[in-house]
Structures are given as C-alpha cells and as structure tokens.
C-alpha cells in the first residue's frame, strides 16, 4: 500500500491494500497497529475525494493511538488530519488539528522537537488564511527560529517567505 500510494501515486490501487492491512491487524488483535496504518490510508482516501470517511477513520484511529499512549503516531496522524481539513477548505478544523499536534509534540520533549517547526510553519499559513495576522506572524517567526536552531536553511527560508506573505496580505 505504501509503495502504491507514496512511491507511485497509485491511490486507487493503494486504498484496498490499506483496507486489507487494517483488517489483518484487527483480526490479529492488534488495534494499535491497525490505527498506525491509518496515517497514510486517510491521505489516500482524501486524495480520492472521500473526505468524510478519511476524517472519521482518522479521528477513530487517533483515539486508539492516544489511549494506547503512542503519542508520536497520534501526532503524525493528527497532522495528516489537519492537511485533509485544509485541503477540504476548512481552515478552522485544520488549525484545531495542528494545535493538537503541536501540544502532543511539545509533550514528547526531545522526541517531538524535530516535528514542531513544521507544525508551526503550517499553523502560520492557516492563521493567515483565517485573518489572524498577529498570531500568524508569531507562528512564522517561531517556525523560522526553530528551523534555524535545527540548521535547516531551506525551511528557514520557507518560514521567512510565509512571514513575508503574511505582512504583504
């Protein structure tokens, strides 16, 4: 499923393979693994225009992961949910998911640190879309600082570009 979806972009072929993986994990009594497999699967569903199903399945999987204490997997899934909401044009729901992911990553300390700048960068874009410019500026500046700390110069430039667009708007 991952090869079909991620490497080849063959989403229609990947969807039933992800469904099969979920069924296999559930039949084996491994609900956490079934939930983990939803991370890429929900993006495939959204790509196929099945937004409601993708969001419902993603939220259910996020609860399983949260209850199991797999915070890193829950955060990754939550970021995908945010992207799906954004793709659907629901910036408010996207921001809610990004805020949740930010909180999860922050709670993970050093394990979550590498993921925080990207979440802040995406938050800055969504906040700008929502007309919340002061918050968007703070988020973009925070993302830029975090990317600098990590030595990711290209991402520093992207966060700076987002900041510039926000000032322009």
9 DSSP 8-state letter: -
**Helix, strand, or coil here: 115?**
helix
pLDDT at position 39: 87
Cα–chain center distance at 72 = 11
pLDDT at position 76: 95
Token duo for residue 54:
């993708």
Residues in the chain: 169
DSSP alpha helix (H) spans, the chain: 2, 11-27, 31-36, 38-47, 51-68, 71-88, 91-107, 116-129, 133-149, 153-168
Q: Answer for the pair 70, 108: CB distance below 8 angstroms, yes or no.
A: no
Low-confidence ranges of the chain (pLDDT < 70): none
Token duo for residue 36:
């983990």
In angstroms, rounded to a whole number, what is the distance separating the alpha carbons of residues 91 and 122?
11
Where does residue 107 rank: exposed (0-12), middle (13-18), buried (19+ CB within 10 A)?
A: exposed
How open is the CA angle 11-46-146, to the nearest 5 degrees?
105
C-alpha Rg value of the chain to the nearest Å = 17
pLDDT at position 40: 86
Query: Does the global pTM surpass 0.75?
Result: yes
For 111, phi then psi, to 5°, come to: -65, -30
């Amino acid at each position: 499923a991952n090869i079909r979806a991620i490497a080849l972009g063959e989403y229609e072929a990947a969807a039933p393979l992800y469904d099969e993986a979920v069924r296999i994990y559930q039949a084996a009594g491994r609900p956490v693994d079934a939930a983990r497999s939803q991370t890429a699967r929900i993006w495939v569903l959204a790509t196929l225009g099945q937004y409601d199903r993708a969001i419902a399945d993603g939220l259910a999987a996020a609860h399983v992961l949260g209850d199991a204490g797999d915070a890193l997997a829950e955060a990754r899934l939550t970021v995908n949910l945010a992207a799906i909401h954004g793709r659907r044009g629901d910036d408010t729901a996207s921001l809610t998911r990004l805020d949740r992911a930010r909180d999860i990553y922050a709670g993970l300390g050093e394990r979550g640190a590498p993921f925080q700048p990207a979440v802040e960068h995406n938050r800055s874009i969504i906040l700008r879309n929502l007309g919340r410019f002061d918050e968007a500026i703070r988020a973009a500046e925070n993302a830029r600082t975090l990317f600098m700390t990590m030595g990711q110069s290209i991402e520093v430039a992207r966060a700076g570009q987002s900041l510039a667009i926000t000032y322009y708007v």
